[in-house]
Chain A
């Protein structure tokens, strides 16, 4: 059983500080939905509003179209996985998992049965009698999930549960989480500041900044068509090219920068006019070293400053005439041994791979 979760005009204030401001979002039943944003952007506050630990100052939280105001966290069909997991250290693994049944007065045998089922689900059969401190990081993670699932919640809320794990384990747990979600088929709402995590697991993501929603959409949509300079630079990497709009042709706009003119694609909802201060974005992997046959609609002169080897990619850091910096990446399969620090080259990129947006602050500022 899964349920829709709807935040309708939700604001949460602490004194005069807006932790979340006028958030409107609808998460569909059975969806894996992520809130992505830097720390302090209000995503945890939203999660606490959904789970019932934080009453919204304004607006409503609806779960299954039912207004949740005044309903405590212990009465909501949600289960929360805490950042530090909050497993009960004095209880065994089985007792942890069956805790929600214990407080509902379920009989001992029933509890044992359910705990065993869940232990099987998380591949920890026969380890129910262990104490929590005897588990490894990944095992604790899975126990926390099992404990949350024991209530058969309609919505599972996850507050950066992977942040304490090391890289390899984190990557494995991503897949595992996704699989568990498919198996139990309930709504997952996931919170993270790690865009890689959000993009790999989620059906849809919502990007947040300073308490406000910047953009909601499918992963590739958000990545390819960011709505704001913040999203453009927070989700993945992006090179900003600052300038003024000098011409518009259909959905393309011409931008005049200190280093020349470029053509970039406008977003449907963010139309620009001639003379507007704007930024064109081009991702490192969309910048190419043109071969003879190539004919890019944008060309850019750069001076290589340094480069680094990342394995599958080689990253180059270069400067433009005006002093602006730019980064581009070349797959390792391409031979780039002739390009070293100090060499001047020309790069090209397609206008369809570049987004132009009204000027606003970036995520890296």
Chain B
């Protein structure tokens, strides 16, 4: 029972992502699996010019995406440099405020994450627009209307809280007598900070930096307001999705998923290695101390097949099956793509002629029972739809 439920739950979590990843390799203009056109990497590379003349950029050729990534990186770096020191300062000061004030101080510190993201974006923009308006034409007016600067400020507002929480968690386990010991040994307060507190907090600094960067990189709700006329990765994605969904986005998503998994696995491996090293040093120490052999006895080392293997096998079977199908039906490579494109282009021209002869109005083309403008892209992206147009005769 529980097993089935867990399976469904994880299928819900991962299924959409897996299907999306697969669609990245289908050469069709609309991300899909079942009308499988050709296996190709085109969405990772140059994209394509569609049969209707529309240019569908792939990952490598999409300059808007590249610009977006660059400004996202700049913003991420800015947010990290601001929010990590702010979070650290606020967390350390939390340990020093009087207990009567601690609740209030803590509440103010965590307030920003309780604000809806849109509000933080809006409030930053309206304030800085006003400041820019007051400042005349100079430097202040420039930065007050600079989307990247405003986004850094707006994101810092709430990302500092996440950093703050990370530092608070670490500081709760800090033994304050260490500070006193250092003072007693002649260190100045500044030396205590840099030689005792900062080294102790360094793991928290690292994780706060990573968290701050990731939160900044994937933020949309705040950024969409504060970025003004600039673009970040997320706003580019959002505007692309609104225009119509393209497999290039699947390719982008798959790239991000792959990077995430690599990062997660690396982190896990490093962590386990560190843990193992610590455990070994402890064990060695215990062995050194205990001369008798009770502790030294060898633990049984058995080889156990991990349960995960079934999942891996299942994936292998599926991938092999899919690959053989693709190869058998010759659904890969340039020749396949060319053939498909040619066919579609001819069909398209044919239909265009039919449409012209029928003098179909724009309204019918884009509206009708298929919904409003958001589905516009779907219509154009979908080849099978055009086959149905024959019914208008």
Beyond the given A73-B183, A78-B184, A83-B177, please list 6 additional residue pairs across the A-B interface where CB-CB is below 8 A. Answer: A73-B180, A90-B200, A131-B281, A136-B289, A148-B185, A150-B185
Q: Which residues in window 201-219 of B have CB below 8 A to A?
A: none
Q: In the assembled complex, which residues on chain B have CB atoms less than 8 Å from the CB atom of A74?
A: 183-188
CA distance A90 to B170 in the complex (A): 15
Q: In this assembly, does B285 line the interface, its C-beta being within 8 Å of a C-beta of chain A?
A: yes
Q: In the assembled complex, which residues on chain A have CB atoms less than 8 Å from the CB atom of B196?
A: 88
CA distance A104 to B188 in the complex (A): 9
Q: A103 touching B195 by the CB < 8 A rule?
A: yes
Q: A86 touching B186 by the CB < 8 A rule?
A: no
Q: In the assembled complex, which residues on chain A have CB atoms less than 8 Å from the CB atom of B281?
A: 131, 133-134
Shortest distance between the CB of B295 and any CB in chain A (Å): 15
Q: In the assembled complex, which residues on chain A have CB atoms less than 8 Å from the CB atom of B289?
A: 136
Q: In this assembly, does B118 line the interface, its C-beta being within 8 Å of a C-beta of chain A?
A: no
Q: A103 touching B180 by the CB < 8 A rule?
A: no
Q: B186 touching A82 by the CB < 8 A rule?
A: no
30 A-B pairs within 8 Å (CB atoms) are namely A52-B184, A53-B183, A73-B180, A73-B183, A73-B184, A74-B184, A78-B184, A79-B184, A80-B180, A82-B181, A83-B177, A86-B178, A86-B180, A87-B181, A88-B178, A88-B182, A99-B182, A100-B185, A102-B195, A103-B185, A103-B191, A133-B281, A133-B282, A134-B281, A134-B282, A134-B285, A136-B289, A147-B185, A150-B185, A151-B186
Interface of B (DSSP majority class):
helix
Q: A86 touching B177 by the CB < 8 A rule?
A: yes
Q: In this assembly, does A72 line the interface, its C-beta being within 8 Å of a C-beta of chain B?
A: yes
Q: A86 touching B175 by the CB < 8 A rule?
A: yes
Q: In the assembled complex, which residues on chain A have CB atoms less than 8 Å from the CB atom of B178?
A: 86, 88
Q: In the assembled complex, which residues on chain A have CB atoms less than 8 Å from the CB atom of B186?
A: 74-75, 100, 103-104, 151
Q: In this assembly, does B15 line the interface, its C-beta being within 8 Å of a C-beta of chain A?
A: no
CA distance A51 to B183 in the complex (A): 10
Shortest distance between the CB of B327 and any CB in chain A (Å): 57
Shortest distance between the CB of B264 and any CB in chain A (Å): 27
Q: In this assembly, does A84 line the interface, its C-beta being within 8 Å of a C-beta of chain B?
A: yes
Q: In the assembled complex, which residues on chain A have CB atoms less than 8 Å from the CB atom of B185?
A: 74, 79, 99-100, 103, 147-148, 150-151
Among residues of A, the one whose C-beta sits closest to the C-beta of B285 is A134
Q: B175 touching A84 by the CB < 8 A rule?
A: yes
Shortest distance between the CB of A188 and any CB in chain B (Å): 15
Q: In the assembled complex, which residues on chain B have CB atoms less than 8 Å from the CB atom of A75?
A: 186
CA distance A35 to B184 in the complex (A): 20
Q: In this assembly, does B35 line the interface, its C-beta being within 8 Å of a C-beta of chain A?
A: no
Q: In the assembled complex, which residues on chain B have CB atoms less than 8 Å from the CB atom of A131?
A: 281
Q: In the assembled complex, which residues on chain A have CB atoms less than 8 Å from the CB atom of B175?
A: 84, 86
Q: In the assembled complex, which residues on chain A have CB atoms less than 8 Å from the CB atom of B282?
A: 133-134
CA distance A33 to B10 in the complex (A): 67
Q: B184 touching A51 by the CB < 8 A rule?
A: yes
**1/0 contact trace for A59-95 toward B, CB 8 Å?**
0000000000000111100111011101110100000
Q: A80 touching B195 by the CB < 8 A rule?
A: no
Q: In the assembled complex, which residues on chain B have CB atoms less than 8 Å from the CB atom of A104?
A: 186
Which of B183, B191, B199 makes the CB contact (< 8 A) with A72? B183
CA distance A131 to B282 in the complex (A): 10
Q: B180 touching A53 by the CB < 8 A rule?
A: yes
Among residues of A, the one whose C-beta sits closest to the C-beta of B281 is A134
Among residues of A, the one whose C-beta sits closest to the C-beta of B181 is A86
CA distance A133 to B284 in the complex (A): 12
Q: In the assembled complex, which residues on chain B have CB atoms less than 8 Å from the CB atom of A79?
A: 184-185
Shortest distance between the CB of A101 and any CB in chain B (Å): 9
Q: Which residues in window 148-186 of B have CB below 8 A to A?
A: 175, 177-178, 180-186
CA distance A103 to B187 in the complex (A): 5
CA distance A99 to B200 in the complex (A): 15
Q: In the assembled complex, which residues on chain B have CB atoms less than 8 Å from the CB atom of A90?
A: 199-200
Q: In the assembled complex, which residues on chain A have CB atoms less than 8 Å from the CB atom of B183?
A: 53, 72-74
**1/0 contact trace for A251-285 toward B, CB 8 Å?**
00000000000000000000000000000000000
Shortest distance between the CB of A145 and any CB in chain B (Å): 13
Among residues of A, the one whose C-beta sits closest to the C-beta of B179 is A86
Which of A52, A102, A103 makes the CB contact (< 8 A) with B188? A103
Shortest distance between the CB of A142 and any CB in chain B (Å): 15
Q: In the assembled complex, which residues on chain B have CB atoms less than 8 Å from the CB atom of A102?
A: 195
